[in-house]
Structure 1
Amino acid sequence: MSSEVFVRGMLYLSLTVIGVPGNTAVILAFLLLLHQENRLLPADAIVLHLACMNLLVVGVRCLLETLVSFELADVFSDVGCKAVIFIYRTSRSLSIWLTFVLSAYQCLSIAPPGSRWAAARALVARYLGCVFFFLWLLNTSMSSAAILFSFGKKSNSTMINHSINVQFCYVQFASKLSKEANGAVQVGRDVVPMALMTLASLIILVFLYKHSQQVKGLRSSRGGGGGSGGAERRATKAVVTLVTLYVVLYGVDNGLWVYTLTVRQTMKSSLISDLRIFFSSLYAALSPVVIIASNRKVNGQLRCVAQEKPIQEKATSLSTM
């Protein structure tokens, strides 16, 4: 095993070790909440769906890349490459769109009751299942090109000019036009929700800032100290962290993708593709950390599970005495 493959495997292993348990914990917390309350709030349902997509990103891409890098499995045949790249692209884009939906829903939630924006929020909550279905339909159709253009390396001894090397697979396009068109669709699919999500998050931050200023004004007029607005600060930090992660990581990802499309003979090296996959998968691995730290429901459910485990172990040990 070369040092390059070893380092690559260790990087993907680190994402797997962080992302798989983290997203699994978030999913488990919401499933426990659903079992207890028999329902989930719309925002909770969006976060649960988001965690499922992030788990797919890390599991299907990073975990398999780790296994193949350390020669523990060989799944990248023609069929394997088509399946992995299709599922990865679909789940990755769904993760972006779901975060936009979450940001938009949170933005609508600060609207005053009785306004048109509040009515729009109620409409989104009512037809959230239809929103999920539309996003699945949109992103699976946009990722369908991966089924046609992805091939395993072993079955391709001769490479055409319009190919992209993704380490264990090749993405081969019929022409330069098809390569650039597919790339433009992917960039547009990412940039549009990122821009809308950033706008929604900025609106939330402006609202929280104005609200905190109003609260400070009321406290100063009353001459009281009061609390420090911890809930507002936590919400602000969560929004800023998520937006920063998206803009930085997916911005780098799309910048590298544009470079791949415009520079000749990038197929000879998989370094650029490895960097793209790493940065886009890094969000899927880090987002559950942000969710667990900022979401009280998830944090509370995980604490309950952690507290129940030693109690059950103690009861078991007493029963065997």
Structure 2
Amino acid sequence: MVRSVFTQSSLYGLLVLLGVVGNVLVAGILSWGFLQQRSIEQSDFILLNMALSNLLVSFFRNILLFLSGLGMEAFLSQGWCKIFMCLWVWFRSVNVWMTFCLSAFHFAVIRRNKPAPSAGLAPGHASQELRRLLLVIGLVWVVNLIYSLPLLMFSTRGSLNSTETLMVISSTTRPLLGCVWNFPSRYSGLAFATVSLVVHEALPIILMLGTNLATLYRLGMHGRSVGAVQESLPRRVPAERKAAKVILLLIVLFIVPWGTSLVSLNYYNYNRGPSGEYLVVIATFSNSLFIALSPLVLAAGHSKLRSKLKHLLKRGGPGRGTAS
């Protein structure tokens, strides 16, 4: 039993470390490019926000879950429990919708049939499209924060032997730092968990799939067309098709762990049985897979990000010149 717990903690710790290092590199490279060039591609700005949301989830939830699995016993006060439970839901919800924003933005670029302008610091560069993007990104953070604020009333500090009686998809998968949900009744808790599942999990997933499939369809039409449409995108179609495949891979990477977590936690909520504990472990791993593996997908499919990473590794030491 002790060996099994150690193995689980080690594997989970590896996922957490991979997610932190990968997203720090992505966020750092994109931020450094922005500081050097005083501009950033709009898609890279979305990627930067996605990496930041990944890091926030890692620092405020996944690392704490890892330490808890190692046996760290720390308990927050009731006030801090309310704040942390609110933050966990906020960061996770932002992470979901930011992933959708990436897919939606790429679809908008394909529909427009021209590359998106870069985001510069000078006021003259703040185009209408850039202002619209900044507004959307700001709304993702603000609206999800507003959604999370009522949770301050529905969380509390549990006792030493507390067990979580309800799993909300967007939050943690076990009592963490002594914090548990405290809904007025089990039915109200299940109602909130269901609404959270639909609004902040199922809806963005469906929209991600729809926009990405529509993007691939339009690119296929461009590839088969002749005339003005084809002439306007002679070189961009292969690059945009590759970008669409990378985004599709990110979405699949998001959906598969999400579906695993969804099945596990809903079984726990509605049909508790002897396998409930194992399902919670599976959900915990599933919730960290996207954060851990998405930087690898970006590094493999984002040519500019990959070239900057290679440049960074070359400068890091003489023995890293051939890193890929």
Specify if TM > 0.5. yes
3-state DSSP class of the match of 1:173?
Answer: coil
Q: What TM-score comes out, normalization by structure 2 length? A: 0.78
What residue is the counterpart of 1:87 in the other structure? Answer: 87
RMSD over equivalenced CA pairs, Å: 3.2
Q: Secondary structure at the match of 2:111?
A: coil
For the pair 1:209 / 2:217, whether they are aligned, the reply is: no
1:181-196 pair list within 5 angstroms? 181-188=191-198, 189-196=200-207
* Contact 2:268/2:276, CA 8 A, preserved across alignment: no
Q: Give the distance between the partners of 2:245 and 2:166, measured in 1 at CA.
A: 42
Instruction: Report the CA distance between 1:244 and its aligned residue.
Output: 1.1
Return the letter of the residue paired with 1:308.
Answer: R
List structure 1 segments (4+ residues) > 6 angstroms apart after TM superposition. none
Verify: 1:302 aligned to 2:309, yes or no. Answer: yes
- Separation in structure 2 between the aligned mates of residue 240 and residue 269 of structure 1, nearest angstrom: 32
User: In the alignment, which residue of structure 1 is the partner of 2:170?
Assistant: none
Aligned to 2:76: 77
Paired position in structure 1 for 2:242: 234
Please tell me whether residue 135 in structure 1 is matched to residue 140 in structure 2.
yes
SS, match of residue 181 in structure 2: strand
Are the structure 2 counterparts of residues 135 and 177 from structure 1 closer, same or farther at C-alpha, using a change threshold of 3 Å? same
Would the alpha carbon gap of residues 13 and 83 (structure 1) be closer, same or farther in structure 2, given more than 3 Å must change?
Answer: farther
| 2:52 is the counterpart of 1:36 | no
8 Å CA contact 2:86, 2:148 repeated in 1: yes
**Which of 170, 175, 187 is equivalent to 2:185?**
175
Tell me the distance in 2 between the aligned counterparts of 1:237 and 1:291. Answer: 11
Percent identical across equivalent pairs? Answer: 27
Q: Aligned letter for 1:289?
A: L
Residue by residue, what CA displacement relative to the aligned partner does 1:88-144 show, whole Å, maximum 9, x if unpaired?
A: 322111111011111111101012459xxxxxxx75532222222221222223333
State the SS of the aligned residue for 2:39: coil
Q: Shift of residue 163 of structure 1?
A: 4.4
> For residues 264 and 193 of structure 1, what CA distance do their matches in structure 2 show?
28
- Is the radius of gyration larger for structure 1 or structure 2? 1
**Matches of 1:83 and 1:12 in 2, distance apart?**
25
Q: Is the 8 A contact 2:166 2:190 kept in 1?
A: no
Deviation (angstroms), 1:78: 4.2
Looking at structure 2, the residues matched to 159 and 236 of structure 1 have their Cα atoms a distance apart, in angstroms, of: 43
8 Å CA contact retained: 1:166, 1:270: no
Quick one: distance in 1 between partners of 2:273 and 2:184? 15
Q: What is the 5 A alignment of 1:275-290? A: 275-290=282-297
- Give the 5 Å matches for 1:240-319: 240-264=248-272, 270-310=277-317
Q: 2 CA distance for matches of 1:63 and 1:146?
A: 22
Shift of 1:12: 1.9
> 1:185-225: per-residue Cα shift (whole Å, max 9, x none)?
2101211111111111001111222333348xxxxxxxxxx
Counterparts of residues 48-63 of structure 1 (less than 5 Å): 48-63=48-63
**How many angstroms does 1:233 deviate by?**
5.2
Deviation of 1:51 after TM superposition, in Å, equals 0.3
CA contact (8 A) 1:9 1:65 kept: no
Structure 2 distance, partners of 1:124, 1:87, is: 30
Aligned-partner Cα distance in 2 for 1:56–1:178 = 28
- Summarize the Cα distance change of 1:75–1:137 in structure 2 as closer, same or farther, 3 Å threshold: farther
CA 1:264–1:96 in 2, change beyond 3 Å: closer, same or farther?
same
Closer, same or farther: CA 76–144 of 1 in aligned 2, 3 Å: farther
Shift of 1:274: 3.2
- Flag the 1:282–1:85 CA change in 2: closer, same or farther, 3 A: farther
Residue aligned with 1:77, SS = coil
Per-residue deviation, 1:271: 3.5
Contact 1:50 1:99 in 2 (8 A): yes
1:276–1:81 distance in 2 versus 1, CA, 3 Å? farther
Cα distance between partner residues in 2 of 1:61 and 1:158: 18
Find the aligned partners of 2:43 and 2:74 in 1 and give their Cα distance: 36
CA distance in 2, matches of 1:299, 1:292: 5
Contact 1:234 1:294 in 2 (8 A): yes
Residues 246 and 167 from structure 1, CA distance in 2 versus in 1: closer, same or farther, beyond 3 angstroms? same
Contact 1:15–1:58, Cα closer than 8 Å, also in 2: no
Unaligned runs of 5+ in 2: 115-126, 168-172, 227-234
